[in-house]
Amino acid sequence: MFGRRVHLFDLFGFPVRADVSWFVVAVLLAWSYATLFLPPQYPGLATSTLWAMAVTLTLGLFASVILHEVAHALGARHYRLPIKGITLFIFGGVAEMSDEPPSAKAEFWMAIAGPIMSLVVGGLCAAATLAALPKAVAEVVGWLALINVVLALFNLVPAFPLDGGRVLRSILWHTKGDLRGATRITSTIGSGFGFLLIGFAVVRVLVWGDLIGGVWMFLIGLFLRNAAQMSYQQLLLRRVLEGEPVSRFMETDPVTVPRAISVEQLVEEYVYRYHFKMFPVVDGERLVGCVTTRQIKELPREEWDRTSVGALASACADDNTVAPDADAMAALATMNQNQASRLMVVDGDRLLGILTLKDLLQFFSLKIELEKA
């Protein structure tokens, strides 16, 4: 989902990050507030005041989204579900869970916590407008009250993966005792809601002439539709791989590279021949690390013939190795976290095999096809 992320700060022990896409949206949002939205509302205000209001409104929206996601994260912490952090991105924010909720009850309270927080923040902002505030400040606080209420109501739409969809899934899960079936139903609703937004976006552009609003709604609808479909696939993937040992999927006779050869030989005799992006590096029978095409690319071309693979290789670490009895789903999570498609399966300094993303996904595809999961 995310590209390059920037760490902003920690809140209640959760790292808060921003995807680079969010910075672009933040600038565009502040500009649109200052030049398109606020001037017709307040024709008598100076340009500098409008820009101050726009920036404050953008930062307030930023804070509101973070508080919404922090509520989810605190709910997850209460039920001992690990949260990797909170990330702001082009369509809002997400508290990144590393696993499915442990129960329907946990899912319900984790999901509902976000809208409750938004309604509380909206209520506090509305109450603040009753105080003796400067006009510009009162107007911004009033808009933030409305934004938080809208944020809560939109997220309560019962379409997965929105909060309302998660609430509905928890109810179906509780009544039917079937998480997969509940996810399938709510994901289908989420996909349909995304399609509805796409259709409404077309109407906004063609009938109302609202190009910017229409394009933005189209993108949100497309995102929700794809996210709903992916959420169900991810649940199926977890159900198929969880509990399966890595040793079941590993290739037991992998291609290895001697540490003494040059990077030039590595490229010519291994990379161009086998087309892998990572190769285990050995010294006789002993595994000493691995080398990737990314490392080769970072080395100046003129140094390839005088640099040994051993000098370039990375040492064995948690991000490039896995034990043979490790859970396949945990190994897949390591691949995703490190953007790797291959892991070395090791026992001490012995290389037992190679686990590839391709093999895991092929097994998943075949099992789904044969068992009609």
Domain boundaries, the chain: 1-156, 162-241, 246-371
Beta strands in the chain (DSSP E): 5-11, 14-19, 83-89, 92-97, 257-258, 278-283, 286-292, 321-322, 342-347, 350-356
d(CA 104, CA 182): 10
Coil/strand/helix, residue 242: coil
d(CA 370, CA 273): 34
Kindly state the helix (H) or strand (E) to which residue 40 belongs, with its residue range. Answer: helix 38-41
d(CA 338, CA 320): 8
Contacts of 156 (CB under 8 A, 6+ apart): 115, 162, 163, 164, 167
Question: pLDDT in tens for each of the 373 residues of the chain?
Answer: 555 788 899 999 999 999 888 888 899 889 989 998 899 999 888 999 999 999 999 999 999 999 999 999 999 999 998 888 898 887 778 888 877 888 999 999 999 999 999 999 999 999 999 988 888 899 999 999 999 999 999 999 999 989 999 999 999 999 999 988 999 999 999 999 999 999 999 999 998 888 878 888 898 999 899 989 888 888 888 888 888 999 999 999 999 999 999 999 999 999 999 999 999 999 988 999 999 999 999 999 999 999 999 999 999 888 899 999 999 988 988 888 788 899 999 998 899 999 999 999 898 888 877 766 4
Angle of helix 357-371 versus helix 328-338 axis, rounded to 10: 130
User: Which residue reads 């291994």 in tokens?
Assistant: 270
What is the topology classification, in CATH, of domain 246-371? CBS-domain (3.10.580)
| 6 CB neighbour count, 10 Å cutoff | 13
Backbone angles phi, psi at 336, to 5 degrees: -65, -40
* Nearest Cα residue to 113 out of 69, 143, 146, 151: 69
Bridge partners of 96, per DSSP, are: 85
Q: Say whether the peptide bond before residue 82 is cis (omega within 30 degrees of 0).
A: no
C-beta of residue 64 within 8 angstroms of C-beta of residue 115: no
d(CA 90, CA 20): 8
d(CA 303, CA 294): 15
